[in-house]
Chain A
Amino acid sequence: MINNAFGLIVTADRSTHLKDLTLSRSAGAVPFGGRYRFIDFTLSNMVNAGITSVGLITEKNYHSLMDHLGSGKEWDLHRKRDGLFILPPFMTKDNSGVFRGDIDAIRSVLGYVRRTQEDYAVLAWPRVVMNLDLTAMMEQHVETGADITILYAEDGSLRPEEQNQDLRLILDEKGRVTDMELDAYRPHSMNRSADVMILKKELLEYLVEEAYARGEYDFHRDILLKKCKTLNIMGYKFEGFLARMESVEGYFANSMALLNPDVQADLFNARRPIYTKVKDEVAARYSVSAQVKNSLVADGCVIEGLVENSILFRGVHVKPGARIYNSIVMQGAEVDENAILDHVILDKGVKILPGRSLQGYDSFPIVIRKNQTV
């Protein structure tokens, strides 16, 4: 367990391109896996490792995030000492209130950072979803005496057109980072940062202030890349299931991966549970005409139609004769009689009228915006 680190989560993040899914919410609040938000995984990883102080940097559209997090009770972060701090963007004499990049974001909350009692900062971006044993990563960080430890996972894919904060680590045999590339067109390494970093609190303060003083704002490019040779930066390899949420296609593919029981066992590892806001929903109800195969179904759903290879969030209603294939249906959506959906993502509260049909593709899932009627 970790007792001398605090968490700092950067939700002010422009690198996630989830189109309509992030129209009304920040990236951390995007629903995933039938009942979770991205942020749930980041927060759970921290509290499961014993972290009791978490600061959450917000930028805009953080209403949805605040609504979801509440007092932090579900994560055991409603505490007299420490707890969950939602840090809204603010403007002062020193802070322009302008977020050009992560350095601006972190600098604007240095007040929180200074007040924390802990020695180490765990810096995370909720655009990567996984179940991480943060304690083991911290142990390595302390043992190796590294200045910064960066979590990475192998990523052999090349998607230059989608690159955003694609940080590649070139490691020596001891796991030390000898070089880095950001958004390289032809990366020289499969080892890609998973956007979790551990460093001393003082070092974080120093790096951010120093970079800011020189007018820099991109944490990855202006701090990590530039300090790569002078600081002792180590990699820590993540071996489990990891979902990068950088595009709608990625989000879709990662959601579908959850239908694999091995992935479920890894991500929803009972030793490190993923906490989320609870809703006291009733159990899902299957009617006589329900036909469900290979799907994840959350509480409160009523299923009277056919559902295959899909993920249904809480309170979804699938009416008789409706057919849903390879789709993600978010909370409270309603699919009426004889409607057909394939490769579709329905955001919260969407209503599909009787007989309507929508057909997307693996490479182009159709996204229907929150509360729309088709």
Chain B
Amino acid sequence: MLILSGDHIYKMDYAKMLKFHRDKKAAATIAVLQVPWEEAHRFGIMNADVNGVIQSFEEKPKEPKSNLASMGIYIFDWKKLRDYMEADDADPNSSNDFGKNIIPAMLNSGEVMVAYPFEGYWRDVGTIQSLWEANMDLLGQKPVLDLDDDSWRIYTRNPVMPPHYVSLTAQVTNSLVSEGAVVEGTVTNSVIFSGARIEKGATVKDSIIFPKAVVGKNVTVEKAIVGENSIVGDYSMVGGPVRPGEKVNNKLTGDITLIGNDVTIPPRAYLAKGAVVNTENPHQPAKEA
């Protein structure tokens, strides 16, 4: 049984991993990636011997013994996995987590578990920061992650939309633009999804504009994510410097400004760096100083 996560960005041939699993006669195979030592404490770390047999596993260790991080991609012998899961389910003290419970239990019982080394691009996009970074990885002269790869196509739902239109007033550099988008403003270092609209005089920089979002006239968007179907009113500033006396709760976002899906930002709004606006938490116009 192959277990995968939906919030990882990578290109991988699972058939090779399955062959590795069979060759090693393993009960479980866990795909691992070498991460920089200084980041290893953020991952589930596998300590494996020279043959790839996992000796121990530590979830987010303070002092990692290895830099082989679990990618959250597992192949299990289904019968064995089912036994361990049933036992885990029966244990009232278990938190029913793969990393915390199942894998340590299998290791403790002496099952053969091997680490499958993966080389290549892999990103967990579970955070705003990493989602933004992964999108930026698609840009550049030779992108870190090149999706334009005939040998490894990424399939998706295709929106029924005409080619995108770049008007006379537009300027687009170092960016990705998808079908149905209309660009009348300036776009740099950004990813524009299908059906999005960047109106005249608007500037979009280092940002991600999701499907059908509208960036109004003379709006400035910097280092931001604008959600699906959202509208940024004319003359707004998104991702501007935090103004004196202003408090921004940016625990989740860092310096990235986030506009959720289906949000309407009124004209002439000001959203400081790191601000989050969504339908539950609508934009509050700043009080006049």
Name A residues whose Cβ lies closer than 8 Å to a Cβ of B.
33-36, 259, 261, 264, 267-268, 273-275, 278-280, 282-300, 302, 311-313
For this complex, 15 residue pairs linking A to B, each with C-beta atoms less than 8 Å apart, are A33-B162, A35-B162, A268-B162, A273-B160, A273-B161, A274-B160, A279-B158, A282-B176, A285-B148, A285-B176, A286-B173, A287-B141, A293-B168, A293-B170, A297-B177
Task: Determine if B167 and A296 form an interchain contact, defined as CB atoms under 8 angstroms apart.
Answer: no
Q: How far is the CB of A312 from chain B (nearest CB, A)?
A: 7
Known interface pairs A283-B178, A285-B143; 19 further A-B residue pairs with C-beta atoms within 8 A, sorted by A's residue number: A34-B162, A35-B162, A261-B167, A273-B161, A282-B176, A283-B176, A283-B177, A283-B193, A284-B164, A285-B175, A286-B174, A289-B173, A292-B170, A293-B167, A294-B167, A294-B168, A296-B163, A296-B164, A299-B178
Task: Determine if B172 and A35 form an interchain contact, defined as CB atoms under 8 angstroms apart.
Answer: no
**Mostly helix, strand, loop or mixed at chain B's interface?**
loop
Q: Which residues of A contact B173 (CB under 8 A)?
A: 286-290
Q: Roughly how many angstroms separate A297 CA and B272 CA in the complex, as a whole number?
A: 33
A-B contact count (CB 8 A): 100
Task: Determine if B167 and A312 form an interchain contact, defined as CB atoms under 8 angstroms apart.
Answer: no
Q: How far is the CB of A252 from chain B (nearest CB, A)?
A: 17
Q: Which residues of A contact B139 (CB under 8 A)?
A: 285
State how many residues of chain B have any CB contact under 8 Å with chain A: 34
Q: Which residues of A contact B109 (CB under 8 A)?
A: none
Q: Which residues of A contact B87 (CB under 8 A)?
A: none
Among B35-43, B72-80, B149-157, the one that faces the other chain is B149-157
Which residue of A is nearest B190, CB measured?
A286
Q: How far is the CB of B195 from chain A (nearest CB, A)?
A: 9
Task: Determine if B179 and A298 form an interchain contact, defined as CB atoms under 8 angstroms apart.
Answer: yes
Partner pick for B165 among A261, A273, A278, CB 8 A cutoff: A261
Q: Roughly how many angstroms separate A184 CA and B229 CA in the complex, as a whole number?
A: 52
Residue B259 lies at the interface, judged by CB distance under 8 Å to chain A: no
Q: Roughly how many angstroms separate A34 CA and B156 CA in the complex, as a whole number?
A: 20
Q: Which residues of B contact A273 (CB under 8 A)?
A: 160-161
Q: Roughly how many angstroms separate A273 CA and B155 CA in the complex, as a whole number?
A: 21
Q: Roughly how many angstroms separate A286 CA and B148 CA in the complex, as a whole number?
A: 13
Q: Roughly how many angstroms separate A259 CA and B164 CA in the complex, as a whole number?
A: 11
**Mostly helix, strand, loop or mixed at chain A's interface?**
loop
Q: Which residues of A contact B182 (CB under 8 A)?
A: 261
Name B residues whose Cβ lies closer than 8 Å to a Cβ of A.
139, 141, 143, 147-148, 153-156, 158, 160-168, 170-179, 182, 187, 191-193
Q: Which residues of B contact A275 (CB under 8 A)?
A: 160
Given A283-B191, A302-B148, answer yes or no on A292-B163 (Cβ-Cβ < 8 Å).
no
Partner pick for B175 among A274, A286, A294, CB 8 A cutoff: A286
Given A35-B162, A274-B162, answer yes or no on A287-B174 (Cβ-Cβ < 8 Å).
yes
Task: Determine if B178 and A264 form an interchain contact, defined as CB atoms under 8 angstroms apart.
Answer: no
Q: How far is the CB of A320 from chain B (nearest CB, A)?
A: 10
Q: Roughly how many angstroms separate A133 CA and B92 CA in the complex, as a whole number?
A: 63
Partner pick for A268 among B147, B156, B161, B192, CB 8 A cutoff: B161
Q: How far is the CB of B101 from chain A (nearest CB, A)?
A: 38
Q: How far is the CB of A19 from chain B (nearest CB, A)?
A: 24
Given A296-B164, A296-B165, answer yes or no on A280-B155 (Cβ-Cβ < 8 Å).
yes
Given A292-B170, A299-B179, answer yes or no on A280-B156 (Cβ-Cβ < 8 Å).
yes
Task: Determine if A300 and B163 form an interchain contact, defined as CB atoms under 8 angstroms apart.
Answer: no
Q: How far is the CB of A177 from chain B (nearest CB, A)?
A: 34
Which residue of A is nearest B163, CB measured?
A34
